[in-house]
Amino acid sequence: MPYDDNGIFAKIIRKEIPAKIVHETDTVLAFEDINAKAPIHILIVPKVPVESVNDLQDDHAQIMGEVLLAARDIAKQLNIDEKGYRLVINTNSDAGQEIFHLHVHLLAGRKMTWPPG
Ligand code: AMP
């Protein structure tokens, strides 16, 4: 599936549609999930046009590292770093990926179950 420049997250990155932004750098944007699955549910998005983990190229290594560093910073900012949080990347249909711009879910604020559903 080719990258859709008119997709929801592409528009959020370009600030064409609103989102509750919690963290932004030159390369990464993080905002609240519109349909939260936990008391804290943030989506951390690299600003490069990549559909999924399957589409990552070797030269995305730096920005994907920055995505994880953003997760670290947001966890500290929201004071959930000690208690804990879960990071999830859904890829394609078995995992339930709905939006084809790579994103990391940061979930927190309740006890998580394992294994996930
Ligand atoms: P996934 O199923 O991993 O592709 O996750 C997509 C996520 O994007 C879901 O949790 C949706 O609730 C969320 N979502 C969809 N549209 C928006 C939006 N406009 N703003 C924030 N989150 C959204």
Q: What is the pLDDT of residue 117?
A: 86
Q: What is the pLDDT of residue 49?
A: 98
The verdict on residue 86 lying in a domain is yes
Q: What is the pLDDT of residue 2?
A: 87
Domain that holds residue 47: 8-108
The verdict on residue 80 lying in a domain is yes
CA pair distance 79, 15, nearest whole angstrom: 27
Tell me the CATH number at 20: 3.30.428.10
CB-based contacts of 79, cutoff 8 Å, min separation 6: none
CA pair distance 67, 75, nearest whole angstrom: 12
Radius of gyration of the chain (CA): 14
The verdict on residue 92 lying in a domain is yes
Q: Whose CA is nearest to atom 13 of ligand 1?
A: 33
Q: Three-state SS for 28?
A: strand
The verdict on residue 117 lying in a domain is no
The verdict on residue 116 lying in a domain is no
Q: What is the pLDDT of residue 1?
A: 73
Q: Is 88 in the pocket of ligand 1 (CB under 6 A)?
A: no
The verdict on residue 113 lying in a domain is no
33 CA to middle of ligand 1, Å?
6
Residue of 12, 51, 41, 7 whose CA lies nearest to 29 = 12
The verdict on residue 59 lying in a domain is yes
List the pLDDT tens digit at each of the 117 positions of the chain. 789 999 999 999 999 999 999 999 999 999 999 999 999 999 999 999 999 999 999 999 999 999 999 999 999 999 999 999 999 999 999 999 999 999 999 999 999 999 998
- Name the domain count of the chain: 1
The verdict on residue 56 lying in a domain is yes
103 CA to middle of ligand 1, Å?
9
Q: Is 91 in the pocket of ligand 1 (CB under 6 A)?
A: no
Q: What is the DSSP letter of 111?
A: P
